[in-house]
Structures are given as C-alpha cells and as structure tokens.
Structure 1
Amino acid sequence: MLEIHCEVSTVWSSAGVGPLGFIKFKVNTAVCQEMLEHFMLPSSDKLHGDADFIFQQDLAPAHIAKSTSTWFNDLGVTGLHWPETSHDLNPIENLWTIVKRKMRDTRPNNADELKAAIEATWASITPQ
C-alpha cells in the first residue's frame, strides 16, 4: 500500500475549487501564511473577483496564531474559525469523500502518480 505523509491546502466555494497545494513538512505560522498567499489569495480572486468572502478554517494552531490573524486583518480577509474535529459540520469533508469515492479504483505506483490522480480528481469537481 502506498502511503504519503503530507498536508493538503486548498480553497473551495460554491463557485468552484482552487488548486491543491501539497505540503511535505509540518505547518507552522510561516508555512501557513505562505500557503495562504500562494493558494488562497489567487484562488479567491479567481473564484470571487472583488466580492467579499469569508474564509473558513479550522482551529489548528498555525491558523489562529496572532501573526496569522494579523496577516488576515492586514489583507481585510474575514475569517470563520471552525473546530477541526467537527467533521460532520465541516463541508470540505464532503468534498474529500467525493474525491475518495472517485479514486476508489485508482492504483498509483508511486507518490507522483498518487498526487497526479488526486489533482485530476479534484479538478473534476464541479460547483454542482
């Protein structure tokens, strides 16, 4: 069985999904803010343009650190903190269930094939 240990960062909304970001190391505040800068901001611009949005995130320490809160405030991004263990209330979990179901018969041979399969499956998700 192929096993990969990494974090995945993404943005999604009723307007669609943004690209996935695969992180191969522990997320601290600096990494969190870098991922937000490179994935969340461009994705929110693409999905919402200049319209206001609320960024939902779990209560992981890097997400609620003072420097991350300051980063959000400086950019005028409104955040909604959500308990990370509320899988029944966390809509992103429904999307991950869809990805897992679509990938059920996928048999990647290495990490690169797995990453490509996840990205292709994620990109196939429509707003509907």
Structure 2
Amino acid sequence: MTSEKYNEECIIKRTKQGSGSIGIWCCMSNYGLGIFSIFDGRLYSHKYVDILGNNLLLSMDLLRQEKPFIFQQDNARCHRAKLVKDWFQEQNIEVLAWPANRLDLNCIENFWSWLDKEIAK
C-alpha cells in the first residue's frame, strides 16, 4: 500500500555494493589459526607490512611454528610489492611461489566460503 511506503516496519535497509569495506588478515598452520587483524578499506603494501610485523611473527610463536617455515599468500598486488618482498627477506621467511589465478588451491578459500554462508544466515 502507498501508506506503507515509508513505514519503518515495511522497509528493508540495504547497503549498496562499494559503499565501504573492511578487511580481515589472519594466518593459519596445522596448529590452528593465528592472530587476526581487521582493517578498513583496501590493503596496500605499507599497511600489509604493518599487519605482518604486528601479527605474523607472534602468530607463529603462538602456533609453535618454528622458523624456517614457508609462508603462503596469493598474488594480490600488495603481496608482490618490493617493500613486502624485502620485509620477508629481512625476516628470513620463505614465501611460496604462487601461480597467477590459482585461488582454488588456496586453503583460505574454503574458510571464506564457510564465513559467507554463516554471515548470510
């Protein structure tokens, strides 16, 4: 009915795509999940190095993961930045070479699928 057009009980609030975003960074090993970090907006190389510095090494200690270990990440632009590559080299962390467009091999994709379904509930 026209009289219900602006009635709060009849309105389904929605957010248009692209109106904002948050990101979640986390690591995992066979011992479990590490510390996670939530950040606003897009991830760029400086922010990524800060997240790694504040979370990765401590997570590896908590997960009883001793160096040397091989870190896996995808080919996101911020992951390929020279600043990020230099950080891994300075920390003596080997990064797994990752083929382009092979997200189906990334174990985190199963987690994102589960999380999407849980949020949709």
| Matching residue within 54, 58, 74 for 1:38 | 54
Give ranges in structure 2 of 5+ residues lacking alignment.
Answer: 1-13
In structure 2, the CA distance between the partners of 1:8 and 1:89, relative to structure 1 (3 Å rule), is same
Q: Which has the larger radius of gyration?
A: 2
Matched, 1:29 2:45: yes
Q: How many pairs are equivalent?
A: 105
Give the secondary structure class of the aligned counterpart of 1:21. strand
Q: Structure 2 CA distance, aligned partners of 1:66 and 1:17?
A: 27
Supply the RMSD in Å over aligned alpha carbons: 2.1
Q: Structure 1 CA distance, aligned partners of 2:114 and 2:80?
A: 28
Alignment of 1:104-115 (within 5 A): 104-105=120-121
Give the fraction of aligned pairs with identical amino acids, expressed as a percent.
29
Q: TM-score, normalised by structure 2?
A: 0.73
Higher relative contact order (CA 8 A, sep 6+): 1
Tell me what 1:7 maps to.
Answer: 23
In structure 2, the CA distance between the partners of 1:84 and 1:8, relative to structure 1 (3 Å rule), is farther
Q: TM-score, normalised by structure 1?
A: 0.69
Tell me what 1:71 maps to.
Answer: 87
Give ranges in structure 1 of 5+ residues lacking alignment.
Answer: 106-128
Shift of 1:84: 6.3
